[in-house]
A and B are shown apart, each in its own frame.
Chain A
């Protein structure tokens, strides 16, 4: 049989393809298994959260903070339940990080609050004596890029079928709908609404004034993203 294949380049190429494709299937197919699908209770990011994720990436937070809790007691004690692959279903790209200079942030929304993040990003040393984390004060001034976040939402909704405006099952049996604006203006309005809710818990007067005037400082988007990490 192999002698015959060796004399027929076309079929030989075909056989090579089939062999390699099989190996590929063994690696690829498990990714479509249920355990790799979005977990029940994992929701897509809202406009403001996605914009906050962009702020997170832009400032290279993932260079010092991981988002991956390994199944060791010492880690789950510190950071919460160990991570499951389905929880990253809406992360493009995932932000596992490769080095923990700071603590893991996978579930930071469970144990830190809006006003804590606000104090901490303004002056980390005051909140955590001895920390090496720098202050990120420009986030209190710079505006959030909602337009890019909306563009990403449109793209992932269209090409990856991310379920915006569709019911997503939650752990308690109910469903939740993460809304996406039909137009850019609507998306901006929705992001602003979210930002107003968050600014109610904030103390920095400049930020509160900015949100009241319809601007969204980056810190608000970042906090929205942090609070969504659960």
Chain B
């Protein structure tokens, strides 16, 4: 008998013994549990299969001789058999190619993942949720939302307290500053504050090419600028009534389609500025149309609340 079989028996006995000691003979034992029994059976099977396979291939190495048809060519005297590949491999290989074709032509294109698709779903889901959650939001909650949007989008120019950072942007704690009012009286304005091209004339008035005569004097401009900047109080009411009230209304609150509110902020005014941007004495403000309608409204409410409390 070959020594290899003897070693096979010894190893098998040792490993089965080890299995018995560590599983069946141990304190818990098989415990009548089907999973434990199956596990022990699998361990026994593994031992037997391992020993059988090792013996088979060691025997093959001991007794096997090379046979079969050799290929014609040799490389450095090393030959190669013309053995066909195993049938199972061949079939699997062909199936892999068929699957590859299917995946390339149908599987991926039809069911493929699209990150833009996922993004679109994400945005749609968010928007639906946002609308449902904040549909009826009003009052203080709207102002709170406006403040959070302001701190994300607007504070970069207008500052944390909306003070305009030393005049590098508009101070939103007041409706208008005197220098802003003066600039627009002198130069006119066309910032689409009503949502359309609706220019305010410069100091020479509408359709007036005569730049020698101005219907409003320098002193009057200074007075009325202070008047508007002080929230329509103080001196200058008479100048305002004469020069400005025709469009902006006697109380400065503007008229629909004619002139914007210059006495106070209101939500509509702020939303229009967010939609169109603005250009004035300080510089330009870009449009912020990436905010959604509710957010713009909220910013309007927040900015209105800033000057209302003074």
Tell me the chain A residues, 25-67 only, with Cβ under 8 Å from chain B.
none
Binds B, one of A109-117, A182-190, A214-222: A109-117
How many residues from A make CB contacts under 8 Å with B? 23
Q: Is the CB of A201 within 8 A of B284?
A: yes
| B45 part of interface (Cβ distance < 8 Å) | no
Docked complex Cα distance between A24 and B285 (Å): 49
Chain B residue numbers with a CB within 8 Å of A82 are 116, 119
| A71 part of interface (Cβ distance < 8 Å) | yes
B100, chain A: closest CB distance, angstroms: 14
Q: Is the CB of B71 within 8 A of A3?
A: yes
Docked complex Cα distance between A110 and B165 (Å): 21
Given contacts A73-B122, A127-B168, contact A80 B290 (CB under 8 A): yes
Docked complex Cα distance between A115 and B157 (Å): 10
B151, chain A: closest CB distance, angstroms: 12
Q: Is the CB of A73 within 8 A of B123?
A: yes
Q: Is the CB of B119 within 8 A of A72?
A: yes
Chain B residue numbers with a CB within 8 Å of A111 are 153, 286, 288, 290
| A143 part of interface (Cβ distance < 8 Å) | no
| A173 part of interface (Cβ distance < 8 Å) | no
Q: Give 1 or 0 for each of A98-118: 1 = CB within 8 Å of chain B CB.
A: 000000000000111111100
| B115 part of interface (Cβ distance < 8 Å) | yes
Given contacts A115-B282, A129-B160, contact A72 B122 (CB under 8 A): yes
Chain A residue numbers with a CB within 8 Å of B71 are 3
A-B contact pairs, 29 of them (CB 8 A): A71-B116, A71-B118, A71-B119, A73-B122, A73-B126, A76-B119, A76-B123, A77-B290, A82-B116, A82-B119, A110-B286, A111-B153, A111-B290, A112-B156, A112-B286, A113-B157, A113-B283, A113-B284, A113-B285, A115-B168, A116-B156, A116-B157, A116-B169, A119-B165, A126-B165, A126-B166, A127-B165, A128-B156, A201-B284
Q: Which residues of B contact A (CB under 8 A)?
A: 71-73, 115-116, 118-119, 122-123, 126, 153, 156-157, 160, 165-166, 168-169, 282-286, 288, 290
